[in-house]
Structure 1
Amino acid sequence: MTILVGYVPTDAGNAALSTAVSEAKLRSTGLLLVNTATGGNFAAGTFADEKDIDSVVAAIEEEGVSVTVRQLPDANPADALLSASEEAGIELLVIGLRRRSAVAKLVMGSTAQRLLLEASCPVLAVKAPL
């Protein structure tokens, strides 16, 4: 079994990553890191560049956890994470949360809410430290 983490290079993404690594060590399992860029929008700040991914992978491996990376440059984050969790038989999905206004939730929808409701595995939602 494997732990899946939805990673974005933000405080929330780093909090999720740290928690996912801890869970992988606790459960003696590997980690699948998925990073997406909605609609191919690389300027949005959610798609990690090669240098960032290399740094993250090195840090994870330093912790003694094996990691596989999937970068999907043109994928809906919720769809990508739900598909990956089904395909890989994921034991736990770890996601980061960020604050959003009520209007932003209404207009934009909520990836986290969709993952919490539709994932077939347990979901651990992590907030970035204040």
Structure 2
Amino acid sequence: MKILVGYVPSPEGEAALTAAATEAELRGASVLLLNTSRGDSYIDARYANADELAAAEAKLRAHGVEVTIQQAVTEGDVAGALLKAAAAEDVGLIVLGLRRRSPVGKLILGSTAQRVLLESPVPVLAVKVPSPHD
């Protein structure tokens, strides 16, 4: 089995990475780490640099998990890139980190996670970053 984790260098991405490592370890699965950018990868903070990818890979390997890393620049369709990778790589689970957004923000901008949750043909594990009060 293969698990796809949508990774960005952020608290949400780290939460997704941790959950993917745990799931892969439990299931004896490998992980496909997909990092995408919606535009110019040189100024997009969501596009991981070499050090951030190396740290993410090391975290997964510390759990004894085999990992493959892919990076892609999308035309603003991150959900589409995740769904396309899931289909192409025949994954059995998608893991995403969720960020807090206002109801207006969700209405106006839509949600990558929401689209993946609704359109994915495989189960999706959505991970929320614990608040400091949890």
TM-score where L is the length of structure 1: 0.95
Gaps of 5+ in 2: none
Query: What is the match of residue 126 of structure 1?
Result: 127
Cα deviation, residue 45, structure 1? 1.5
Please list, as runs of the form range in 1=range in 2, the aligned pairs for 1:102-117 lying within 5 A after superposition.
102-117=103-118
Cα deviation 1:55-113 (Å, max 9, x = unaligned) = 11122112110000000023521011000111111110000000111221122111011
Aligned equivalents of 2:98 and 2:42: distance in 1?
Answer: 20
Moved over 6 A (4+): none
Query: What is the match of residue 84 of structure 1?
Result: 85
Query: What is the match of residue 69 of structure 2?
Result: 69
Task: Tell me the amino acid that sits aligned with residue 81 of structure 1.
Answer: L
Aligned equivalents of 2:119 and 2:40: distance in 1?
Answer: 24
Cα deviation, residue 127, structure 1? 0.4
Cα deviation, residue 115, structure 1? 0.4
Aligned equivalents of 1:118 and 1:42: distance in 2?
Answer: 30
Query: What is the match of residue 50 of structure 2?
Result: 50
Query: Which has the larger share of helix?
Result: 1
Aligned equivalents of 1:15 and 1:123: distance in 2?
Answer: 14
Cα deviation, residue 40, structure 1? 2.6
How many residue pairs end up in the alignment? 130
CA contact (8 A) 2:74 2:81 kept: no
Cα deviation, residue 41, structure 1? 4.7
Moved more, 67-76 or 85-94: 67-76
SS at the partner of 2:93? strand
Task: Tell me the amino acid that sits aligned with residue 103 of structure 1.
Answer: V
Task: Tell me the amino acid that sits aligned with residue 40 of structure 1.
Answer: D
